[in-house]
Structure 1
Amino acid sequence: MQHLRVARDCTKIEQQTLSRVVGPKMRLIGSRGVNIAPMIAYRRPPTHGDGMETKRAATFACIKRSETCFALILVVSLYGVSAAFAAPFTPTSDNQVLERLPLSAAPYDRELRTLRAALDGAPGTLDIALKLAQFYIRIGKIESDPRYYGYAQGVLQPWWNEPEASAKVRLLRAMIRQNRHDFSGALQDLAQVLSVEPGNIQAWLTRAVIMKLQANYDEARLSCLPLAESRDPLLAVTCLSDVNSLNGRAQASYEFLQDVLREREGASQDQRVWSLTVLAEISMRMGRNDDAERFFKEALGVGRQSAYLLAAYADFLLDQGRAAEVADLLADKTSVDSLLLRLALAKQQLAAADLPEFVAKIGDRFAASKMRGENFHQGDEARFALRLQGRAEDALRLAKANWAAQREPQDARVLLETSLAVRDRAAAQPVLDFLARTRLEHVRLKSLAAEIERLP
């Protein structure tokens, strides 16, 4: 956050807001009157004597609602950051058939055709290009289909490398870079966006997701705070509850989010799905399977089912030995790599005769990904190597590389399981240190860690 420019036009009233944001009483009242103080638990980072605390405070004090960021179209899908990235492609002629879009794209076909026709009729028009790129990203996130990120970058290619790219271009570029796991590049773009638009809610939300993914919980929490200025305070509450549930405050986060969600009956479908998914995952980590089941099913019944939600629920079912339900849930969703993997794991539990066919399909997809120079789903590949191929040493190598890039609970689990498979306690030490430092409440990780500790 050091690189964020402090707004110079803060009034005295705005400066006084500092005491509400990071003051001694730790009070923060969002624009809709929801007190999110219980979820802040702000731990002050070191200042290095450069006035950073004042800069942070002034940045948050001057936050206003942004009218320039597009609608929060990706609330739930922002969590789906594991999809591989497809490189941009420019056709050689207008008549060239690029690819037959999957059936899952059918609900979006009319709007896509309209936007593409508009851009064809006015090539080089940034506003139209932004709308089309936004729509591609939306589909890509909902479907966990990396091709749409490639399409989005292709649309933005005329402005992609501009040194003075607009905030709107930088924001979309950050989201595309996030998808390809270029987190450093994404954060640089977000910093530039927030330096000129400190109230850009989508930029803060994207930053919060990246910081949480990297287990930088203090910065994730700080990025959640400005979301209190959005039209729906449930956005900030969900963001803060999600972050705090990962570092020693699971019960408080669960109760707070559940209470606010109950009061926000008018929340959008996407927002409700995200909030319900967070509640399901908190419940699952705490070992409350009945609650997790209830929240997962409620989320699945609201609006369109995202690949992230389906994968999370499938993992929950697999852990309980409910493979037949996973097979039914994912039977027609094999176009998504992460869902194909979980379907194969279900077939393994069921001793299905066609398991080799699914193992071969997954292997082909990972091979194709490598040919494109992609290595952004190493956690799933480690799981595939360990569970479906019996290649424990290779699985551990992949799990280590994955942990170096991202540090969510599922990533910790993969590294612990692969370390156990080769009986390598030292390989698991980074996760053991992580669990001690973050105070993550997770019954399965606690059990795995105990097994690791018993290794000679």
Structure 2
Amino acid sequence: MAGLAYGAPFRPANDGEILERLPERAAGAPRGGVADAALAARAARVFLERARRSGDPRDYGYAQGLLQPWWSAPNAPDDILLLRATLKQHQHAFAAALADLDRLLTRSPDHAQAWLTRATIHRVRGALDAAAADCARLQTLAPGVVAELCRLATAAPRDPWGAGAGLDALDAAMAAQPDPVYAWYQAERAAAAQRRGDLVAAESAFVAGLARAPWDLGLRAAYADLLLEQGRAGAVITLLEDASNSEILRLAAVRAYLALGESARVTELTDALADTYAALRRRGDAPHLREEASFALFVERDAARALALARANFRDQRELADARLLLAAALAAGDARAIAGLRDWSEASGVRDVWLEARW
């Protein structure tokens, strides 16, 4: 987590001074846009893969820049539509991402990856019935462990016990899958275990996933949240010591340093995160409200602001972490109406989580 202190802006002495060298594997990516859609898609995928591993928002920007000639084109090629939807999903522009996937599937109804991406977005938004239908379609097109993982992951919010047993049964088959699929599998096992209150099983899944995919920022951040919930701030620092300076990991780190009373590191990381959120708003980008709400609640100790942000986040994102954050903010703010509203949603949707239920 080094290198986060911010001072006066650096100004190069002349136009020829090199500020940064891009990694070698990105050197072949075209600059300034390209006319060849297939070439642009291949290059954009390079930057997307790098962004998933580094958490550097510039890589998402580079990928979007390469797709700019087709960014608003409704008749863009299938690969461009899928990449466009993926970038919009990252930006939390879920409706726009779904619109691109719908265009793609109208034209290419057997596109398995599009169905999987569509299921993922529906599940993130809490549209579990729609996600289940997408997974069912995926099973007819590409039956196998990935389609079964899609089905079980969608069932887990309503039945973490039954779906958890199904996920455990996939363990041997998943061991042979590529690292990104294996990391996704272990993330789903961990989430199901957390919903049913089995924190030992959740930690085991996180450790297994990170052993194969230590670069998976989402998996690492979710594990850090579990450790913070258990009061294991020192373990969080160890977990993040070789991690990149992504927004989500810096948030976990500042919470850990707060718990350990290391004020100098807290100040560095707090300033860096505040700058990140301000920069997002200046650029007109949609902020990641889950992280900003968590920052307001656990770092700034501003329960009212945290609740407002968590509510706004929950309108679009309704995963395990989003529901728990909303309840934590509502409890901190003493807002009985928000607590009752979340309970009503849980009962109406059938979503189960022993952590939530213990706090109604």
Q: Which TM-score applies when normalising by structure 1?
A: 0.71
Offset of residue 309 of structure 1: 0.5
- 1:33-82 per-position Cα deviation (integer Å, ceiling 9, x unaligned): xxxxxxxxxxxxxxxxxxxxxxxxxxxxxxxxxxxxxxxxxxxxxxxxxx
- Amino acid across the alignment from 2:24: R
- 1:161 counterpart (52, 72, 89): 72
Structure 1, 222-231 or 291-300: larger mean CA deviation = 222-231
Task: Give 2:220's aligned residue.
Answer: 310
Task: Give 2:41's aligned residue.
Answer: 130
- 1:194 counterpart (88, 105, 110): 105
Please list, as runs of the form range in 1=range in 2, the aligned pairs for 1:244-263 lying within 5 A after superposition: 244-247=155-158, 249-263=159-173
Task: Give 2:292's aligned residue.
Answer: 381
Structure 1 residues 96 and 374, CA, compared in 2 at 3 Å: closer, same or farther? farther
Alignment of 1:416 with 2:327, yes or no, is yes
- The structure with the largest alpha-carbon Rg is 1
Structure 1 residues 268 and 244, CA, compared in 2 at 3 Å: closer, same or farther? same
Give the secondary structure class of the aligned counterpart of 2:208.
helix
Please list, as runs of the form range in 1=range in 2, the aligned pairs for 1:184-333 lying within 5 A after superposition: 184-228=95-139, 233-247=144-158, 249-333=159-243
Task: Give 1:431's aligned residue.
Answer: 342
Offset of residue 386 of structure 1: 1.6
Task: Give 1:114's aligned residue.
Answer: 28
Give the secondary structure class of the aligned counterpart of 2:358.
helix
Structure 1 residues 264 and 421, CA, compared in 2 at 3 Å: closer, same or farther? closer
Alpha-carbon separation, structure 1, partners of 2:38 and 2:136: 30
Q: Is the 8 A contact 2:29 2:43 kept in 1?
A: yes
Alpha-carbon separation, structure 2, partners of 1:285 and 1:165: 40
Q: Is the 8 A contact 1:208 1:223 kept in 2?
A: yes
Cα root mean square deviation, aligned: 2.2
Task: Give 1:60's aligned residue.
Answer: none
Structure 1, 422-431 or 194-203: larger mean CA deviation = 422-431
Offset of residue 190 of structure 1: 0.3
Alignment of 1:335 with 2:245, yes or no, is yes
Structure 1, 138-147 or 380-389: larger mean CA deviation = 138-147
- 1:400 counterpart (302, 305, 311): 311
- 1:294-334 per-position Cα deviation (integer Å, ceiling 9, x unaligned): 11111111134211001010001111111101011113435
Give the secondary structure class of the aligned counterpart of 1:199.
coil
Q: Is the 8 A contact 2:157 2:195 kept in 1?
A: no
Offset of residue 123 of structure 1: 4.0
Alpha-carbon separation, structure 1, partners of 2:50 and 2:16: 22
Alpha-carbon separation, structure 1, partners of 2:101 and 2:251: 32
Q: Is the 8 A contact 1:144 1:308 kept in 2?
A: no
Alpha-carbon separation, structure 1, partners of 2:341 and 2:286: 21
- 1:378-436 per-position Cα deviation (integer Å, ceiling 9, x unaligned): 12111111221121211111111111121112111121111111211112333111211
More helix by share: 2
Offset of residue 232 of structure 1: 6.9
Alpha-carbon separation, structure 2, partners of 1:212 and 1:362: 28
Offset of residue 347 of structure 1: 0.9
Identity across aligned pairs (percent)? Answer: 31
- 1:189-218 per-position Cα deviation (integer Å, ceiling 9, x unaligned): 101111111111211111011100110001
Give the secondary structure class of the aligned counterpart of 1:273.
helix
Offset of residue 263 of structure 1: 3.5
User: Which ranges of structure 1 fall in alignment gaps of 5 or more residues?
Assistant: 1-94, 451-456
- 1:182 counterpart (93, 107, 120): 93
Alpha-carbon separation, structure 2, partners of 1:418 and 1:274: 28
Structure 1 residues 433 and 333, CA, compared in 2 at 3 Å: closer, same or farther? same
- 1:231-254 per-position Cα deviation (integer Å, ceiling 9, x unaligned): 67111111111110101x111111
Name the count of aligned residue pairs.
Answer: 345
- 1:359 counterpart (235, 257, 270): 270
Structure 1 residues 265 and 362, CA, compared in 2 at 3 Å: closer, same or farther? closer
Offset of residue 264 of structure 1: 4.4
